[in-house]
């Protein structure tokens, strides 16, 4: 997994969009933003490691989503656009890439800069509730991802707006990174 500042240049969202020169983002900065990263090689026993993380974090359910033209069929283009709209969730978001590769972009606070996190199979990402983010495939155009949930599987995105800026989960997130009193 590699994190760096997004270049904000127009063009295909599936391209790396790495600045020239590159501006890497450290694991320490991600931790300050309450973003956690793990790499779990897809070898024998990887499921046990996922189970341990799920137990530690109170996750009881999971599913696997195939984000590809084959996996999503006619909904593919609409889903890719929807995933790339800036949004937040009221729950922590955990994704483990079983196959393929893609990008999660997160908003750095307080700069509002985009940080791009390049992920491939074996990478696990934990985003806190209330962080603005988006997702896109890379040029490989496919990801098989395990999604973990505390309760019943659900995926409710709240697109960024003045209302979401005041959402209780957004405010709590900002407090957790010492950005509001």
- Residue from 167, 22, 7, 177 nearest 90 by CA: 167
Could you give the residue ranges of the DSSP H alpha helices within 85-181? 162-165, 168-176
Please give the Cα distance from 52 to 129 (Å, whole number): 21
| Residue 89 labelled as part of a binding site | yes
What are the tokens at 85? 């709209």
| Residue 17 labelled as part of a binding site | no
* 127 strand-pairing partners: 93
- Binding-site residues for Fe(2+), in ranges, read 87, 89, 93, 133
Annotated binding site for Ni(2+): 87, 89, 93, 133
Name the binding residues: 87, 89, 93, 133
């Amino acid at each position: 997994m590699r994190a760096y500042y997004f270049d904000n240049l127009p063009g295909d969202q599936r391209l790396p969009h790495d600045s020239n020169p590159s501006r890497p983002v450290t694991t320490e900065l991600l931790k300050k933003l309450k973003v956690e990263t793990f790499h779990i090689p897809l070898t024998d026993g990887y499921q046990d490691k996922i189970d341990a993380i799920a137990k530690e974090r109170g996750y009881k359910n999971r599913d696997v989503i195939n984000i590809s033209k084959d996996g999503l069929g006619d909904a593919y283009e609409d889903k890719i656009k929807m995933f790339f709209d800036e949004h937040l969730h009221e729950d922590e978001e955990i994704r483990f890439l079983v196959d393929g590769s893609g990008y999660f972009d997160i908003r750095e606070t307080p700069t509002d800069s985009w940080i791009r996190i390049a992920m491939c199979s074996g990478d696990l990402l934990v985003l806190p509730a209330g962080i603005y983010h988006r997702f896109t495939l890379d040029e490989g155009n496919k990801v098989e991802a395990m999604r973990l949930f505390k309760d019943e599987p659900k995926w409710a995105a709240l697109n960024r707006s003045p209302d979401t800026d005041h959402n209780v989960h957004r405010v709590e997130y900002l407090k957790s990174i010492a950005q509001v009193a």
